[in-house]
Amino acid sequence: MKDNQLVIWGCGGMGREVNHLCELLGYEVVGFLDERLDMRGQIVDDIPVLGDLPDIMHLRDQLKVVCAGVGSPQLKKRLVQKTRDYGFSLAETIVHPAVQLSRKIHLGIGSILCAGTILTINVHIGHFVIVNSGVTLAHDVKICDYATISPGVHISGNVTVEEGAFIGTGSALREKITIGPWSMIGGGAFVKDDVPGGVLYAGVPAVFKKKLI
């Protein structure tokens, strides 16, 4: 297997941003994967859309798969499982050179850290997490598997974002709170209290809007 050959799940906005990051870091992006039949054979940002995993079985032992090319936590989780089921190797975590990391950071596999993000001391990033551009993660923050943190989010110290939570653009989270699994925080929110699992909270201050599960 060549260490630098990748395919990326999703040829939408997130996948294209991940492609840009991979190119910057010197990876060879062989193509995008996309389950939508009408996307197969298209060229997106000069990269071919190869189709679904069964279409590239002949490449299985040559490349690794990036699953964090889609922003939806639920879809990310399903694509990770599918990629494993088909026997493909998963890509390591990819970190933009303009990310500031302290010396005490835990990084899982398959995550993406985008430009301008700052992680201070003792930050834990799980597997298949997206931390988009210009995010700040303060001391002792824990971002669990499959979570997606949108651009410009500020997360205060000792906050835990549980599995599969989605934090909308430009929102801010007060210290020492927990965002429950598979919950969503609307863009521009200020979250001051714990959020239970499987709900949408939004606004300033953020309040319950609806159940998602």
Ligand X SMILES: CC(=O)SCCNC(=O)CCNC(=O)[C@H](O)C(C)(C)COP(=O)(O)OP(=O)(O)OC[C@H]1O[C@@H](n2cnc3c(N)ncnc32)[C@H](O)[C@@H]1OP(=O)(O)O
d(CA 21, CA 207): 35
Q: Let me know if 139 is a catalytic residue.
A: yes
| Cβ proximity to ligand X, 60 vs 188, nearer residue | 188
| Cβ proximity to ligand X, 41 vs 205, nearer residue | 205
d(CA 193, CA 133): 25
- Phi and psi (nearest 5°) for 166? -120, 125
The dihedral sign for the CA sequence 70, 76, 79, 80 = positive
Give the CA distances from residue 99 to residues 55, 69, 102, 121, 154, in Å, rounded to whole numbers and listed in that order: 35, 18, 10, 14, 15
Q: Interacting stretch for ligand X, rule CB under 6 A, among 52-60, 105-113, 137-145, 197-205?
A: 197-205
- Which of 168, 181, 182, 191 is in the footprint of ligand X by CB under 6 A? 168
Count other C-beta atoms under 10 Å from residue 97's C-beta: 8
Asked if 150 is part of the footprint of ligand X (rule: CB under 6 A), the reply reads: yes
- Find the binding residues for ligand X in span 31-50 (CB under 6 A): none
Terminal alpha carbon distance of the chain? 40
- Which of 48, 116, 157, 187 is in the footprint of ligand X by CB under 6 A? 187
| Cβ proximity to ligand X, 53 vs 199, nearer residue | 199
CB of 122 to ligand X, least distance (A): 26
**Which 8-state DSSP code applies to residue 99?**
-
Asked if 183 is part of the footprint of ligand X (rule: CB under 6 A), the reply reads: no
Asked if 10 is part of the footprint of ligand X (rule: CB under 6 A), the reply reads: no
Name the nearest CA neighbour of 101 among 86, 117, 88, 89: 117
Torsion of CA 149, 151, 172, 163, to 10 degrees: 0
- Which of 169, 174, 196, 198 is in the footprint of ligand X by CB under 6 A? 169
Q: Residues 124, 127, 139, 154: which is the catalytic one?
A: 139
The two three-digit tokens of residue 91, written as one number: 């890509």
Asked if 106 is part of the footprint of ligand X (rule: CB under 6 A), the reply reads: no
Site string for ligand X, 65-104 (x = CB under 6 A): ------x---------------------------------
Positions in the binding site for ligand X (CB under 6 A): 13, 71, 132, 150-151, 168-169, 184, 186-188, 200, 202-203, 209-210
